[in-house]
């Protein structure tokens, strides 16, 4: 199963139990959002990228959540409200503008997408900056 198929399967599973949790998005929307998130995670700007995101999670009291995604065990879940608090409405709006998805749906879709992407980018259970660019490139190829 490819990465996009895995994303769509998880989003469909969430949609069955949580209303619009990804059910209102097409495969193209999910792929566009995944590419935009990979851009965000690969950012080389100061305080950006995956390391910067982990820092913000820590500051928001959600370090245990992102640590579970980075680590090799089970990924902890996150709510759309928590995503909004961590990323901020400005970042969600930017992702929405890049993808054509309303920011509220971006936050909901990220409850599935963000843990999966972080998990895939950290297969050894740690953030390895030297391997991050290669991991992002590999995920982009899987997404098409």
pLDDT score of 59? 95
The percentage of the chain sitting over the pLDDT mark of 90, rounded to a whole number, equals 49
The more confidently predicted of residues 61 and 144 is 61
The more confidently predicted of residues 44 and 117 is 117
* Domains along the chain with CATH numbers: 3-143 (1.10.10.690)
Q: Which residues of 25-40 are buried (b: 16+ CB within 10 A; e: fewer)?
A: beeebbbbbbbbbbeb
Instruction: Give per-residue pLDDT as tens, 41-94.
Output: 888 665 678 988 999 999 999 999 999 999 988 999 999 999 999 999 999 999
Report yes or no: 117 and 38 within 8 Å, Cβ to Cβ: yes
Helix axes 103-121, 80-99, angle to 10 degrees: 100
User: In Å, how far are 9, 71, 93, 126 from 106, measured between CA atoms?
Assistant: 17, 24, 8, 26
pLDDT score of 4? 60
Average pLDDT of the residues of the chain: 83
pLDDT score of 126? 80
45-49, 52-56, 131-135, 137-141, range with the lowest pLDDT: 45-49
Whether residue 132 is predicted with pLDDT greater than 80 in this model: the reply is: no
Neighbours of 110 (CB within 10 A): 24
Token pair in block for residue 101: 């998805």
pLDDT score of 78? 97
Whether residue 14 is predicted with pLDDT greater than 70 in this model: the reply is: no
How much is the average pLDDT of 26-34? 85
């Amino acid at each position: 199963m490819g990465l996009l198929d895995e994303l769509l399967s998880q989003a469909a599973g969430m949609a069955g139990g949580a209303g619009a949790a990804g059910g209102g998005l097409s495969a193209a929307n999910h792929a566009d959002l995944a590419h935009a998130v990979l851009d965000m995670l690969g950012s080389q700007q100061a305080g950006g990228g995956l390391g910067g995101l982990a820092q913000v999670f820590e500051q928001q009291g959600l370090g245990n959540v992102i640590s579970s995604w980075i680590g090799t065990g089970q990924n902890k879940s996150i709510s759309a409200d928590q995503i909004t608090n961590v990323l901020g409405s400005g970042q969600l709006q930017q992702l929405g503008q890049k993808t054509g998805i309303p920011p509220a749906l971006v936050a909901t879709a990220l409850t599935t997408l963000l843990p999966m992407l972080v998990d895939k980018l950290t297969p050894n259970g740690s953030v390895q900056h030297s391997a991050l660019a290669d991991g992002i490139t590999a995920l982009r190829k899987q997404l098409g």
